[in-house]
Structures are given as structure tokens and as C-alpha cells.
Structure 1
């Protein structure tokens, strides 16, 4: 049953902090599996399923999935529903989506050719956020989607961007999530934009190439060693824990944790989002909070 406006407004008063965190997460990162949401916000898969279905019945969330060629179906993919999108628009001061515009956006997303890439990119942030939840000595203090990172940094288009605090350091990173569909020279050519960013505003974060296999990583490392980039670059594979000592910097043979990579937050300039209003701010725009039951 679809709630009317009065019912929906009444329900808003009963939204839990966890519900709001899930809505915020999906607003930023577009689509997540039930497993990804569960790892971030629940301790029981059954509880997660029940709450997600409740939010879906209220049109705060929506979901879709694909049939498998061999039979059965893939896991559900969760997105904002119409009222979830309107709730986030009201929270952030954006124009309210109409029912038709939201439907069109959902259809475009469900037909998105790079949906597997989107899910894998989000998996990177999910793993870091989960590590931070279980280890109070570390924190994912920023986790931006491609859309937000591109809007805030202007000159680059990373798949994701974040700030990771561990061992007394806050290290920025730009993610290039590789699915093995582009040539290695094309991957390396993306570094030119990051170099331009460093030259302009001084931000020099490691570019993390997250690769689908160790063979592809080895081949990329060989090309990078032949022409070492002027900015920090490190590689790891999709099966690795991104918070752990898995990152292989160009020109080195020892893998380092994310916190061990070089990082510079740049100059106090209008184009640097690390300096809003002329003051350094490395705590702003973090990942959604964790509320688990």
C-alpha cells in the first residue's frame, strides 16, 4: 500500500538514525546490494532484509535485479525510492523530484552499462567503512562518489575519493576501479589530469588502481616502472582489504597500508575543497554513520 503524504510525514518522525544513514548512503552512491548495506548498518541479515522491505513498502527505497542466464536471479540492488529521493532533496535543499523524473532516473540506472563497475567501486568504500566501524583507531572521514568528487575537484573524474585516518595520519586517495575493459595505456593516461590537479592546487593524493587480477596488476606495474609517474600511484586487486598492507607503490616492491602512502592536502586556494572558507577542513562530508542492530 502506497502511503499518502500525511502518512509519510508521520513516518518521518519515526525514522531511525540508521534509516537516515541508509538514505544518505544511497543518495551519494546510487546503488548498493543488500549485503553491502547489511555489512555497514546491521549485524543480522534477516533484520536487514526486514527493515529494507519496510522502507521499500513506504517508497523510501526501491530495488531491482536481473535474471541469470543459467536460471534464478542476481541479488537485489537497492536504490532510493520516490519518497526517499524527496526526503533527501528536502534535507539537502534540492528541487523535489517528480514521480516521472524519479522513474526515468531509476530506469536509466537499471539499464546502466557500467552497473557492475558501480557496484565494485562502492565495494571499495564499504570495506573501508566496515573496517573503521570495527576498529576505533581508524576512520573513513570522507567518502565521495564520482559525481561529488568530480564536482568538488573540477579537473579530475575519479571513480571515488576519500580521506582515511590511521596511525596518526589522514591520507587522501583517488580511486580508479578497473574492470579489465580498458587498455593499460588508457588507464595510465588518466594520470595526466591528476598531475594537472597537483600543479594547480597542490593536492597530491595517491591514485589507487584497484584491479581485477594479479596478472593485470603486474602488467600495469611494469608499464608504470618503465615511465614512473610524477604523482603517487599504488595498485592492489579486488580481492584485497583496501585498509591493509596491500598497496604496491610504483617503483617499490613492498606493499604498504593505505595510511603508509604519501599524501598532500594542497594549498589554501578557492578550488581546493579541503579549504572551505579559507580554513583547513579534513573532517567534512564523511561516509554515512553506522547504526547497527
Structure 2
């Protein structure tokens, strides 16, 4: 009897480690990560990372692309799920198995997406937190939601670039990420806070909105715009060159920078009839 497509997928199972499964799940959730990001997330040695990624590519579990760099050279490799990676994740989550054409189109749409740089920057924020947690056992990124997941979970009341829960020594801070690339006016950036205010009124949960900005000058301009705004929504800013786990966050209306773990974060009051909280009283949706 000739082998079927599922037989072909089963044949590579002996080559898939538990780390590989975590890597595939992360790419399923967040679509694209660079070699350097995957190195910091899963590997100690860069060479080991490069070898393993190419082995997974040879198995059809991963695929990659990169563009020319302005001025010469190439940008880093951007890794995505390959066709077998899409098939494996579909099986893991009881989704319809994609065709080779569908997998190829997904790759093409992702690589040609004009918002690709923005997506990589947003992912970089969470990669840095995850890398920090690898080095510091007392810290943990307990939730990392992509833009698509956050929009779905929050029923599009808000559409942050990401949402997370950051825990240090048992204390948990929830936050919403707005990764800024400078493509929007700061007036429009400030206007995003209206939807967060609406969510606070609806759910009584006050998580800080983190504006991660491309330059100190842009950060200073945003703070000037925020001066006339009521403090209903907690806001803090930092720049892309900063480690988001550190004392780099400048809350609106203050002059001193604090750690992410020290930002105010009110999870609200869980009630028995409110399905938006988990067993630990942490806001879900």
C-alpha cells in the first residue's frame, strides 16, 4: 500500500524533541521569529541553534526567508512554520490539515506583509522578557498573547500589539503592549487610550499600557501630549534599546523610571458570576 500524507508526517515524529514542539507552538502563535530571537528563547549556543533550525527545515517543519539590507548585505533569517509544521500544529489543535498550496500562500502573505517589521519588533519585546526569565528563576512570563489572540480574547474592545502577564517573586503585573515604529502620529497613538479606558470601565481591570518607542525624542513628545489627559488609564513608556524587564519604564506624570514588575497593575475584583477571572483572580478576557 502506498504511503499516505499522514504516514509521511508520522515518519518524522521520532526526530521531534520536546523543545522542538515548544518552538513550533510559538511560531504557530506568533508567526515569525528571527534566528537571534529563537537562539535567545531556546538555545545556549548560537551554532547549535543554527544547526537545529536547518535540521527542522530539512524535515519540512520550518521555513525561512530574508530580504536584502539597504546599503548591502542581508537581513537576518526570519523563520516560520513549514508545510509539515503547519500540518503538525493542525493535528495538535484539531484543525483542518492545510494543503501545500495553503501553507505556501501563508508564507508568502507573511513575508510580503508591510507590517512585518512591526510584528518582529512586538515579538522582540516578549523575547527579551522570556530571555530575562531564563537567566532569573524568580521571573516568569506567564502569558504572551499576540495581537491576533488579544483582539480575539478581548472581543476587539482593544487591539494591542500584545498582552502579557509578568511575574516576579510571586507578584504579577498585567500589561498591554503598543510597539511604536514611528509610522503614526503621536496624536493618533495617544488616541488609542480611549479604548483602554472603555475596557477599564467595563471590566474594572487596570493594566498599564506600555508604549515601546523608537527614540527618546519621540518618548518625550508623547509625554508632553499625555500631560492634559486624565489618569484613568495607567501609561508607561520606554525605548526599543531598553531591556523591558529593567528599571526603564517612565509612568506618565512622573520623573523616575521603574521596573516592569513595579508598575501598578489592578487585576480587579473577581466575582463568582464573572467568567473573566481565573482561579487566582487574574483577568482573562
Distance, in Å, in 1 between the alignment partners of 2:53 and 2:129 is 22
Distance, in Å, in 2 between the alignment partners of 1:84 and 1:281 is 35
Asked if the contact 2:267–2:283 (Cα under 8 Å) also holds between the matched residues in 1, the reply is no
**Bigger RCO (CA 8 Å, 6+ sep):** 1
Q: Give the structure 2 partner of residue 184 of structure 1.
A: 186
Asked if the contact 1:201–1:271 (Cα under 8 Å) also holds between the matched residues in 2, the reply is no
Query: Which 5+ residue runs of structure 1 have no aligned equivalent?
Result: 285-293
Shift in Å, 1:201: 1.4
Asked if 1:222 is matched to 2:218, the reply is: no
RMSD: 1.9
- 1:35–1:283 distance in 2 versus 1, CA, 3 Å: farther
Distance, in Å, in 2 between the alignment partners of 1:150 and 1:229 is 24
Q: Give the structure 2 partner of residue 235 of structure 1.
A: 237
Shift in Å, 1:283: 11
Distance, in Å, in 2 between the alignment partners of 1:235 and 1:136 is 26
Asked if the contact 1:167–1:259 (Cα under 8 Å) also holds between the matched residues in 2, the reply is no
Query: Which 5+ residue runs of structure 2 have no aligned equivalent?
Result: none
Distance, in Å, in 2 between the alignment partners of 1:15 and 1:265 is 38
70-79 vs 16-25, which deviates more? 70-79
Asked if the contact 2:32–2:79 (Cα under 8 Å) also holds between the matched residues in 1, the reply is yes
TM-score where L is the length of structure 2: 0.92
Q: Give the structure 2 partner of residue 142 of structure 1.
A: 143
Please state whether the residue corresponding to 2:97 is helix, strand or coil. Answer: coil
Shift in Å, 1:265: 2.1
Shift in Å, 1:271: 6.5
Q: Give the structure 2 partner of residue 66 of structure 1.
A: 67
85-94 vs 46-55, which deviates more? 85-94
Shift in Å, 1:280: 4.1
Deviations 1:157-203 (A, max 9, x none): 00000000014310000000000111111001101111111111122
Deviations 1:12-37 (A, max 9, x none): 13311110111011111110000100
TM-score where L is the length of structure 1: 0.90
Shift in Å, 1:100: 1.4
- 1:283–1:227 distance in 2 versus 1, CA, 3 Å: closer
Q: Give the structure 1 partner of residue 202 of structure 2.
A: 200
Q: Give the structure 2 partner of residue 9 of structure 1.
A: 10
Distance, in Å, in 1 between the alignment partners of 2:192 and 2:141 is 25
Distance, in Å, in 1 between the alignment partners of 2:190 and 2:175 is 16
Please state whether the residue corresponding to 2:258 is helix, strand or coil. Answer: coil
* Count of residue pairs brought into register by the alignment: 278
Please state whether the residue corresponding to 2:127 is helix, strand or coil. Answer: helix
260-269 vs 229-238, which deviates more? 260-269
Asked if the contact 2:9–2:88 (Cα under 8 Å) also holds between the matched residues in 1, the reply is no
